Structure 1
């Protein structure tokens, strides 16, 4: 991730109900917590501030660089890498937030990630993550007219931002985030997300050795399909 994109990400994605949910899932009792795909560390740092022993694992060096200079960063063990680098039986809690699960597109890659997490989480430990519900078809809102908004950077610069949907095919949705500075300079960030159904998520977790406790459809604990949040929020355990 470009350093400029890391800065934009923090402005565009402030603390929200999803963070509150995952912080609550980690619990009040200090635990060893893994934040897989920690990005710039918004939730990671809050977990550490709450008294947990936290590892933030992230493949993008620019995101980690942004996380490492934030207040409280010295309380976190930051690791640049992938799930394959995880140690065995090292965590009581594992999290994948901000739809990181959808960045893992291939079936083999997804199965490998879950296997790595199963190996890294102790018996009785928990896993929670979010993935957008394909039935909600949220990508239909990813158009320049519907998504256009403005971001104000810490130095006061106002950046125009919008999303362009480029392709929808066989569970994969591709898009481009666009950013335009006042001087006309533009930065684009393409991506592709995998939209898995609830049934697909349940099957893959069972195959990896997890027991699914609940799947919510919204951040207030609504059933799947009953919230405009359009989420599949998975809570699972190793038993």
Structure 2
């Protein structure tokens, strides 16, 4: 899993956390498993969804390659309910086997080619029980969400404890085939600092996602287009894949 260099830093991870929250997607993941089970959260980031699932009684392991993100995540886990693993998705190894694996927050899109994606998916599958389920999400490239990633449309301000008012905006730097490169720019009012995080995402088609899951050894996958479980179509904003191990 590629590491965003900015989010390896605690200060940047904290800013990211202040502006990124789960809405309908969080409710979907929280309610997916009807009874407590063993959950693997790949690319858990600052742990918002990880801790939420642990609080529901699941035994959760969170994996992320960015130290800064995990620092923020551990601060939310005051009871120590989550096992936090600092490692890329393709390289972590734990003895436990999981009933459910999730990749929230469009983490799936950080894998920039088939080789990276397959390495991660195969390692995840090795850590799942037979019949366990993997859920991943990716923005539908046909919806062209990046067209709204402009300074004017993304400007948002939050007051962060110990930091004060912070404004974030997004701006596209490059669009090439399946890949979109953009900056998240955080402006800290108190210090006048401008902190920039560059990200590059892949926008694979639905058929590509199904193929990669099959090549990684997963069974037939179901595709949804939104968090209300509407089936995927070409006009869907999301591609939510649920696959059997």
TM-score bin (small chain): over 0.9
The structure 1 residue matched to 2:39, chosen from 28, 33, 38, is: 33
CA separation in 2, counterparts of 1:213 and 1:109?
20
The alpha carbon displacement at 1:12 in A equals: 0.8
* Aligned residues: CA RMSD: 1.7
Conserved? CA contact 1:218–1:227, under 8 Å? no
* Deviating more after overlay: 132-141 vs 63-72: 63-72
CA separation in 1, counterparts of 2:79 and 2:109?
26
Using a 3 Å threshold, how does the CA distance of structure 1 residues 156 and 4 change in structure 2: closer, same or farther? closer
The alpha carbon displacement at 1:38 in A equals: 0.5
Unaligned runs of 5+ in 2: 1-6
The structure 1 residue matched to 2:204, chosen from 168, 190, 196, is: 196
> SS of the counterpart of 1:11?
helix
CA separation in 2, counterparts of 1:71 and 1:113?
26
Which residue pairs with 1:100 in the alignment?
107
Which residue pairs with 1:206 in the alignment?
214
Which residue pairs with 2:76 in the alignment?
70
CA separation in 2, counterparts of 1:102 and 1:121?
21
CA separation in 1, counterparts of 2:158 and 2:195?
14
Using a 3 Å threshold, how does the CA distance of structure 1 residues 30 and 72 change in structure 2: closer, same or farther? farther
Unaligned runs of 5+ in 1: none
CA separation in 1, counterparts of 2:27 and 2:34?
12
The alpha carbon displacement at 1:211 in A equals: 2.0
The structure 2 residue matched to 1:79, chosen from 77, 81, 85, is: 85
> SS of the counterpart of 2:214?
helix
1:176-214 deviations in whole A, cap 9, x for unaligned?
000111142110000100001000000110111112342
The structure 1 residue matched to 2:22, chosen from 15, 22, 26, is: 15
Which residue pairs with 1:112 in the alignment?
119
Conserved? CA contact 1:41–1:67, under 8 Å? yes
CA separation in 1, counterparts of 2:214 and 2:15?
37
Which residue pairs with 2:183 in the alignment?
176
> SS of the counterpart of 1:48?
helix
Matched, 1:157 2:175: no
Which residue pairs with 1:46 in the alignment?
52
The structure 2 residue matched to 1:3, chosen from 7, 10, 17, is: 10
Using a 3 Å threshold, how does the CA distance of structure 1 residues 73 and 191 change in structure 2: closer, same or farther? farther
The structure 1 residue matched to 2:226, chosen from 203, 212, 218, is: 218
Using a 3 Å threshold, how does the CA distance of structure 1 residues 157 and 89 change in structure 2: closer, same or farther? closer
